[in-house]
Amino acid sequence: MRVFKFGGASVKDADGVKNLARVLKTTGYDNTLVVVSAMGKTTNAMELVIKNYFENKSELQSSIHEVIKYHNEILLDLFENERHQVFSDVRAFFDELAVFFKSNKSPDYNYVYDQTIGFGELISTTIISHYLKEIGLKNKWIDVRELIKTDNYYRRSNVNWEQTQENIASIFNPSILNITQGFLGSDANNFTTTLGREGSDYTAAIFAYCLNANSVTIWKDVPGVLNADPRYFENAQLLHQISYREAIELAFYGASVIHPKTLQPLQQKEIPLYVKSFLNPKAEGTCVSKGKALEPEIPCFIVKKNQTLISLSSLDFSYIVEENISEIFSLLHLYKMKVDVIQNSAISFSVCIDNLYNNLEKLLQHLKAKFKVTCHNNVSLYTIRHYNDAAIKDLEKDKTVLLKQLAQGTVQIVTK
């Protein structure tokens, strides 16, 4: 049993869908599960739809129309007959979206987000499943929400592993090509949940764990795991093999090529993960597997943009002690802040966070009641694994360094 995952960039247009089919023909598709993300930038487009629903209802229909238009263009490029079943299947999803917006009474942004955002994955997999059947690749379309069960922590749900494994064992047929969605699940009341942005990799790992798969392959527009994101760093190099531990470290610090939660279930069952190029499916790519010796011999660079750095100090110059730190972390948890770096001294405490849930102002007001607060928005957090002096010097060039923290094997630098 193999699990393949294709991201949005790989199926951004009709040519991408056709290339997915070529990859399957090249690698073989017997006993294979394919997990697919929303097409292209659909998730971003759906986020605009959600924003308009809450803040600008006059633009809601036009933003939905843009999503419909985008998918219709792909459909018309793939299917000659406009009476093909796929057109009505896709239309039914958009009708379902319209019904939700008309009937929804919940003011909870995170709930509405999860009920809405997943239409991108449902539609992309429907189009791909029909296209593969059209060219002779028989397959079964699966609604992942019937299999992966979670709690109701909307936008970052936690998997109910026992129920999920039971569902997959009772429903899943591994003897044929299966097509399903990444990123999605459902709670005990069957409301749609999501596993976090870029969570399709994690979906692939969940299935691999539950099915005892031989491998997981993530198909990307890069040749494999690189030592740096080529969008931000020059001369990025391919890492041919790395250990689970190193991949988890890279993912934790924000390497976008692998979702942070993906490696944990794979490591437990020692299922190898391959990261390969969908443009060159026969190339070796990167293998992530068990092995202490699989550490990169060159610095690995990671950058996270649009972070927030908060620096706290006591109002009366008293020490920042365990009681204060405990209270700070309680507030960070209360307002759902993802903590990326912490640094403290006798009378100060700094934390670099990801304001995913837009609760920053509430957090700051709460903190200002007990601390002197300095806040820097839109900072960049750089992490270098296996750093050397030259790597640090090159990174800091022409930047204002707000925070710097060195540990064995890793340096983190916050810049403005």
Q: What is the pLDDT of residues 139-154, one digit of tens each?
A: 999 999 999 999 999 9
Nearest to 148 by CA among 171, 166, 164, 125: 164
* CA–CA gap between residue 278 and residue 287 (Å, rounded): 15
* CA–CA gap between residue 110 and residue 119 (Å, rounded): 15
Copy the structure tokens of residue 161: 């592993």
Q: What is the pLDDT of residues 203-261, one digit of tens each?
A: 999 999 999 999 999 999 999 999 999 889 999 999 999 999 899 889 889 887 787 78
Percent of the chain whose predicted confidence (pLDDT) is above 90: 90
Measuring CA to CA, how many Å separate 370 from each of 1, 320, 353, 355?
A: 56, 11, 19, 21
Nearest to 206 by CA among 259, 131, 243: 259
What's the pLDDT score for residue 293? Answer: 63
* CA–CA gap between residue 319 and residue 347 (Å, rounded): 5
Contact 285, 276 (CB under 8 A): yes
* CA–CA gap between residue 36 and residue 131 (Å, rounded): 14
Domains and CATH numbers, the chain: 2-213 (3.40.1160.10), 300-415 (3.30.2130.10)
* CA–CA gap between residue 365 and residue 53 (Å, rounded): 28
What's the pLDDT score for residue 254? Answer: 85
* CA–CA gap between residue 10 and residue 205 (Å, rounded): 19
Least confident of 186-190, 192-196, 295-299, 389-393: 295-299
Beta bridge partners of 353: 308, 339
Q: What is the pLDDT of residues 276-298, one digit of tens each?
A: 999 999 999 999 999 766 678 89
* CA–CA gap between residue 210 and residue 35 (Å, rounded): 14
Q: 3-state class of 388 per DSSP? A: coil
**What's the pTM value of the predicted model, to 2 decimals?**
0.85
Residue 412 has φ and ψ, to the nearest 5°, of: -125, 135
